[in-house]
Amino acid sequence: MPTTNDKRLIKITANSGNVTASTFDVDFDAAFDSPQSLALSFSDSSSGSCDKTLRELVVSDAATGSEIGRTSILFKVDTVELGEFSAGIDRSGRSDTTPPPSGTPHQVRNPTASNFRRWAQVVKQSGENVLRNFANVDAKSAASSGAVDQSVVTNDDTTFALRVTFSDRGGSALASGTVTVTTSAKAGDGFTLGPVRLSESEDDGEVERTVIRR
């Protein structure tokens, strides 16, 4: 059965003088399988402290080549300075994708299902906000025939998992996969972490919902 496994490991370190103020680790993992054909494309427009990638998965009928549907995922991770605070920020991003992606991805323009989720947490020094770590994931899907469903299966302070399923008109699954994002932040000596703040929006083609959890 054709499968795609798309992983990206990101680490952003902010240093103030000789002290590490913040270490921010984010792992992205998307795995899909289907008896149909799967084609994955990927682009990396990262710059400076910002890690920004886009991937698009196209599901096609294995016999006819006609498109069943597609999913795009825009993923952005960054650490930004706040106020007058100054830090040296180092970023590393490493991808491991099987099979290797090819072609140029595009965001789905007219999705029938979409989920956006932002994770953010400030770093404090002497009670003042000096840094903000954040991770955004924007997943959009559209079905050319049949239907597509995006369902959140895990959503807490450290993990977000989204299940994507393409089905035919009779409701039988044609392709499915899970997108998982995990986050971990640490503060260095003399610094502390503020509360995690989550904001989410979801659109299933009928109702759009937006939630700011805290």
> pLDDT by residue (tens digit) across 18-41?
899 999 999 999 999 999 999 999
- Give the number of C-alpha atoms closer than 13 A to the C-alpha of residue 96, restricted to the C-beta side: 6
Range of the domain at 168: 3-212
pTM: 0.92
In the chain, the number of structural domains is 1
CA angle, 58 as apex, 53 and 59 as ends, to 5°? 145
Average pLDDT for the chain: 93
pLDDT over 60 at 15, yes or no: yes
- The residue-averaged pLDDT of 47-69 equals 96
CB contact at 8 A, 141 and 71: yes
Please, are residues 175 and 68 in contact by the beta-carbon 8 Å criterion?
yes
159 three-class SS:
strand
Mean pLDDT for the stretch of residues 67-77? 97
Q: What is the rounded end-to-end Cα distance, in angstroms, of the chain?
A: 42
Give residue 213's pLDDT: 56
Q: Is the pLDDT of residue 207 over 50?
A: no
The position carrying tokens 């260095």 is: 188
